[in-house]
Amino acid sequence: MAPGQLMAPGQQALTGAEPVIFADVPDPDVVFDGRHYYMVSTTMYFAPSVPIMRSSDLVHWSIAGYTAPILDDTDALALRHGQDAYGQGTWAASIRHHEGTFYVSVGSLTTQKTYVYATPSIEHGPWTRSVLDGYAHDQSLLFDDGAVWVVYGAGVIDLRRLARDDHGTFVWDGPPTRLVEDAGVDQTSGLPAEGAHAYRIGDHYYVFMIQWPTGGIRQEVVWRSPSLTPQSQGGTWEGRVVLSQAVPVAGRPGGGVAQGGVVQAADGQWYAMLFQDEGPLGRSPQLARVTWDADGWPVYALGAAPTVPAGAASAGATDLLVSDDFDNQPTRAGYWSTADAGALTTSEENAWNGSSLGLTWQWNHNPDNRFWSLTDRPGHLRLTTGSIASGILDARNTLTQRTCGPASAAAISLDVSAMLDGDVAGLSAYQQKYGYVGVEMADGARRLVMRRADRDGDVAFTSAPVPLTAATVLLRVDVDFRDAADRASFAYSLDGAAWTPIGDDLAMEYSLDHFTGYRFAIFCYATAETGGHVDVDWFRVGDDIGGMQP
């Protein structure tokens, strides 16, 4: 494969039950507006908030936008004052298209609130934002005969109605109602049923959920009823396991495909977008064909791709890991277009700084927009230290893209001439048990170093330092998930032709403390004094990076 190209398996016509996207896209929910499919995913603590992807065929996906630059401005979401949102942030977003408007809802464990966003255009906005007190776990929007409901719960199924106030903002309309007292199906212990996706299809209301019995695999379950009457009031709710299947992927046996809703495709058929855990890579979407039996229950078949209508607009290749030369686009992305811009730009660190990153990039927690730029040095990403950090886990303005399986690599060209003593900058395979290759400045001298952390996020190994006199260095990270190798390796180069390994390999592990798959991350932080900076000339991805000039 040529340098700079992305190895993107699973993006061809599906021939089996391989991932639709071999990357971390957990808790998917899909809607079809008659032209494109749009899919939302859990984003946890990354910003911009709630990624939205677009496809013309349910197989090839590209990033179309986000709901907002940030979810909210809190210390935990911004890595301020010793607080963080690792393992929290937002979970399991829902997307619906109703009467020409797109709606995205999501709950946040960090803020203990539920958010509903609305827009006529995902790509261009404008977006409106409703903030509801209380966290609705793994919620789903349900539009039904003029009413708007939120369906949610863990181990139960709860229903709560939404209304609009005089400003058109959603508010709760009364207390929640418990539809189903015990949402588990033939389950006595384990992870209770959660991840609701609610629909009215034909004569029934359906709630699709995931459960994980002790000692078993993840399962897709469905509850249905002819009405929204609670069980306690005589409502007839039936539950059934509709999918209990693990799929081997890249030498990993799989732990069960589940958690997702259904969508009626352009060809009139029904499909489900689910996910399966793929170790440190994260949770990858799986596509299933859905038919309906004589009694109206869904029947799943993994690996079936829809027929693409003639003349359908293509979404192109999956743009979840892409190279970037950091050329600025002066026009703001659509997610900056809001009806109430002041709601999310209450301080200078949240205000737009005139620089527009590509849609594939997300920051680790909210960025401080005062200390990064694409305009200070055109054609470069400048990261300036604006606060003191103890290490990469509490460093602000760390910029990320997803890793991709079964193996992928990334490299950067880094100008380190303006670093100050105590600064550390580089490229990471990022999760709680992280590893990185970087440059650190000490006593007026620069040196290359590789570090890796243990399961608690504490530094467990530091390589012998390599003196660096050059002002620019290339840094590289390779990740390999094949046959559950789950290894990351690190290297540097001074000429772009020869790469020198540094340190040792990182044994990657998926940690629930972060609850995300590994990402490639560009970072620069200060441990002594602020004001230093680095300039990143380019970011390159591919499984065979080479032949690049510093």
Confidence of residue 12 (pLDDT cuts 50, 70, 90): very low
- Strand residue runs (E) in 56-189: 62-68, 90-98, 101-108, 113-119, 128-133, 140-144, 147-152, 157-164, 170-172, 177-180
Q: How many CB atoms lie within 10 A of CB 87?
A: 17
Helix (H, G, I), strand (E, B) or coil at 458: coil
pLDDT reading at 156 higher than 70: yes
- The identity of residue 536, as a single letter, is V
What letter does residue 25 receive in the DSSP assignment?
A: -
Report the range of poorest mean pLDDT among 159-168, 304-313, 452-461: 304-313
Question: What does residue 77 show for φ and ψ, rounded to 5 degrees?
Answer: -75, -15
Confidence of residue 1 (pLDDT cuts 50, 70, 90): very low
* Cβ–Cβ < 8 Å for 377, 448: no
Question: Of 297, 302, 293, 287, whose CA–CA distance to 222 is shortest?
Answer: 297
What is the percentage of the chain residues whose pLDDT exceeds 70? 92
* Cβ–Cβ < 8 Å for 462, 506: no
pLDDT reading at 326 higher than 90: yes
pLDDT in tens, 484-498: 999 999 999 999 889
**Torsion sign, CA atoms 19, 23, 28, 30:** negative
Which has more confidence, 10 or 288? 288
Q: How many CB atoms lie within 10 A of CB 51?
A: 24
Residue 241, exposed/middle/buried by CB under 10 A (0-12, 13-18, 19+)? Answer: middle
Question: Of 56, 54, 59, whose CA–CA distance to 95 is shortest?
Answer: 54
What letter does residue 71 receive in the DSSP assignment?
A: S
Q: Which residues of 259-280 are buried (b: 16+ CB within 10 A; e: fewer)?
A: bbbbbebbeeebbbbbbbbbbb
Residue 40, exposed/middle/buried by CB under 10 A (0-12, 13-18, 19+)? Answer: buried
Strands 435-442 and 500-501: unpaired
Question: What does residue 517 show for φ and ψ, rounded to 5 degrees?
Answer: -75, 165
End-to-end CA distance of the chain: 21
pLDDT reading at 147 higher than 80: yes
pLDDT in tens, 420-469: 999 999 999 999 999 999 999 999 999 999 999 999 999 999 999 999 99
pTM: 0.94
Question: Of 94, 129, 43, 106, whose CA–CA distance to 365 is shortest?
Answer: 43
CA distance 306 to 289: 8
* Cβ–Cβ < 8 Å for 513, 388: no
Average the pLDDT over 413-418 and give the result: 98
Would you state the pLDDT for residue 18? 84
Residue 238, exposed/middle/buried by CB under 10 A (0-12, 13-18, 19+)? Answer: middle
Helix (H, G, I), strand (E, B) or coil at 366: coil
CA distance 95 to 102: 7
What letter does residue 81 receive in the DSSP assignment?
A: T
CA distance 416 to 475: 12
Q: What is the DSSP string of 291-334?
A: EE-TTS-EEEEETPPPPPPTTPPP--S--SS--B-----SSPPG
CA distance 436 to 506: 9
Residue 153, exposed/middle/buried by CB under 10 A (0-12, 13-18, 19+)? Answer: buried
